A and B are shown apart, each in its own frame.
Chain A
Amino acid sequence: MMAVVAAGTNRIDPYVIPALDGVAYGLLVFVAASGLVFCFGVANILNLAHGTLYAIGGYTAAALLDGGWASLALALAVGVLAAGAAGVLLAGLLTPVATGNHLTQALLTFGVALAGGSLLVAGFGPDDPQVRVPAALEGSVVVAGHRYAAYRLVFIVVAAAIAAALYLVVRRTRAGMLVRAAVDDAEMVACLGVSPARIRAGVLAAAGALAGAAGVLGAPIIGPGTDTADTVLLLSLVVVVLGGLGSMAGTLLAALAIGEIQTLGVALLPSAAPFLLFAAMAAVLAVRARGLASRWGAT
């Protein structure tokens, strides 16, 4: 009996670390993507500048973190506020085209992403900056016989806490109820008598704050750099496509799947690595499309 367990451990041994990395990566993508889901589900805006909001958090972390706990708290506060403020700014820019179609709105957010990325590079330099984690978390800890970076382990706990908090807010509070109602029925928000501009500002501020928090805390995992905005936007989009808008559980599952594909999948199938994300998306969408087709009847 013991021998069997030991053999089993041996076979999965090399994959414990990538699998754990996948959880960390997946939770990071979840926090980042939930902002995009929120924005799309509630305000019906495809925000192509979402990755830039994350990058703001990342650069803030790189600039402020000095190895102490206080700097982490400061970076988190500044990053969340800055990215949230950028979200409000974006909402303001969107106001004149609010009655237009989604195409022009998406194009506008892309322009903002382009300009914002350029400003970040101008402010922080073209090289990818180093990020220092708090000294106490710099080392590694032993997990199931493996050494694992302490920061990532703590990140998993913190990100899981953020996810749980998000769940509670959406499920249990009045604001969360409104959010769910809005995702179900966009017309309903209009009937509440709240001005759409204010809703947009609030939604983009919240999405920015989430992206900013993800950017600061995730800086040691997906660090700030010229490609960051694109990478985070792509991963968030794939999460939305895979997980749908209906449930947070779907979003979380999709994010974790992406995390595992990007880490464990690459470790298991290095040669197929570039295609894995694509294949996952194709598989999920194909299955879902067939489900939809059968529900609507073949035409």
Chain B
Amino acid sequence: MRDEVIRRARGAVAALVLAGLVVAPWVVDDYTTAILARTLALALVGVSVALLTGVAGMPTLGQTAPYAAGAYACVVVGSRISDVGVVQLAVAAGAGAVLAALTVPLVVHARGVIVLMITLAIGELVVTILGRWRSVTGGTDGLAGMPAVRPFWGLPPLASDQARYLYTLVVVATLVGAALLLLRTRAGLLLRAGRDDETRLRASGHRVPLHVSGAHIAAGAIAGGAGSLLVVAQQYISPADFGFDTSALLLLGVVIGGTASIGGALVGAALVIAVRDWLFGVLPGHAPLVLGALFVATVYLLPSGVNRARVRLRASSAAPSHPQAPPARDAATVPELRA
């Protein structure tokens, strides 16, 4: 009964937010509309972070890597091959998926905080490459001047901030819907089971590394797709868009949103990014200081995120299911780094 009420309330809030997002470009000015579009793209990356961190149990600081791959692939395709949005989106998602697939061997056997470390290194290395591979990426100057995107064959190009925003909104809504549908299938069930108790899942005969790889690649595809949206929304990209601080902000947003909830990740990531953009607007010199302090304060205050994580941690340490298995997952992963 109470669940039903909560479910309805959640649905109503989601519908309200969606309606607000649809009418937003007619309420706010063009600049804010463009910022909103970019925030939507980043929130989609947040969804991919939540998919890995919360659903698959692999905390990541490296989703900026497939995000960047998607964005740069989209620019290359957009300026040389096709101005059709769905083509660019598909190529970007493919690029993100390919990058994620290439990094699967690095993360598939690691868990917990080690994944955090490896993905962070991957993300940072990708940014380094973007800065140095000038012939393709334009180096630290970035890339600009892509022709306007037309969403579909035969449609007019997106000429205004409103149009670009609405395109972004439609794509984000579609991809989030697809992710939600995917989580309702067998795949989502197995990912949740693996997060609960991976050893148990193995003992039932499941090929866990296969699930982990699949989740990693799917999250990479989503982040790559978000990259193509960033190109549309911002019409300019540079390595600074894909830095370590973006990853950390998104992870914070996902943790605020409750880690395992896709909707929560969308809201949390959008909120954190909006606060950052606002801070850099009003306090140009000291924004990082305030942002850092807010980070610390948020971690202390986190109402749901920390508690849920704690409950989960306690649940897993209170009931280790196998006498031979190490009690906590993180403790289990440390030996994996030993040479």
Contacts and interface: CB of A to CB of B under 8 A. Distances in A.
- Direct touching of A and B (C-beta under 8 Å): yes
Interface of A: 40-41, 44, 46, 48, 93, 96-97, 99-104, 106-108, 110-119, 122, 186-187, 230, 233-234, 237-238, 240-241, 243-247, 250, 273-275, 277-278, 281-282, 285-286, 288-289, 292-293, 299
Given A99-B310, A110-B248, A286-B105, A237 B337 contact: no
Given A104-B309, A234-B124, A274-B133, 13 more contacts: A44-B334, A99-B310, A101-B306, A102-B330, A103-B116, A106-B59, A107-B251, A110-B245, A115-B289, A117-B292, A122-B289, A245-B334, A282-B105
Contacts of A244: 337-339
A231 to B, nearest CB: 9
Contacts of B18: none
Contacts of B186: none
12 contacts: A97-B306, A101-B313, A103-B116, A103-B255, A104-B255, A104-B302, A115-B295, A116-B292, A118-B288, A245-B334, A274-B128, A286-B106
Contacts of A299: 202, 207-209
A282 B105 CA distance: 8
Contacts of A48: 120, 248
B255 A107 contact: yes
Contacts of A282: 102-103, 105-106
B337 A112 contact: no
Chain B interface SS verdict (over half):
helix
Contact of B310 (A100, A108, A247, A278): A100
A281 B106 contact: yes
Contacts of A108: 295-296, 299
Given A93-B296, A97-B300, A103-B53, A277 B289 contact: no
Contacts of B255: 103-104, 107
Nearest to B331: A186
A221 B334 CA distance: 32
Interface in B314-339: 330-331, 334, 336-339
A111 B296 contact: yes
A112 B117 contact: no
Interface residues of B, number: 63
Nearest to B124: A234
Given A108-B299, A110-B248, A115-B296, A102 B116 contact: yes
A122 B53 CA distance: 35
Chain A interface SS verdict (over half):
helix
Contact of B292 (A41, A103, A112, A246): A112
A213 to B, nearest CB: 23
A275 B132 CA distance: 9
Given A103-B53, A285-B118, A277 B125 contact: yes
A273 B132 contact: yes
Contact of B295 (A40, A107, A117, A245): A107
A285 B107 CA distance: 9
A10 to B, nearest CB: 30
Contacts of B131: 274
Interface string B112-147: 110011101110111011011100000000000000
A281 B296 contact: no
Contacts of A40: 113, 117
B106 A285 contact: yes
A262 to B, nearest CB: 11
Contacts of B298: 111
Contact of B251 (A96, A103, A245, A289): A103
B186 to A, nearest CB: 19
B26 to A, nearest CB: 36
Contacts of B109: 289, 292-293
A245 B124 contact: no
Contacts of B202: 299
A99 to B, nearest CB: 7
B252 interface: yes
B158 to A, nearest CB: 33
Given A111-B292, A292-B109, A246 B338 contact: yes
Contacts of B286: 118, 122
A285 B113 contact: no
Contacts of A106: 59, 61, 113, 116
B294 interface: yes
A96 B121 contact: no
Interface string B262-290: 00000000000000000000000111110
A122 to B, nearest CB: 7
Nearest to B292: A115
Contact of B293 (A44, A111, A117, A288): A111
Contact of B299 (A41, A107, A114, A186): A107
Nearest to A110: B248
The 3 closest A-B pairs by CB, nearest first: A111-B295, A115-B292, A114-B292
Contact of A102 (B112, B292, B295): B112
Nearest to B294: A111
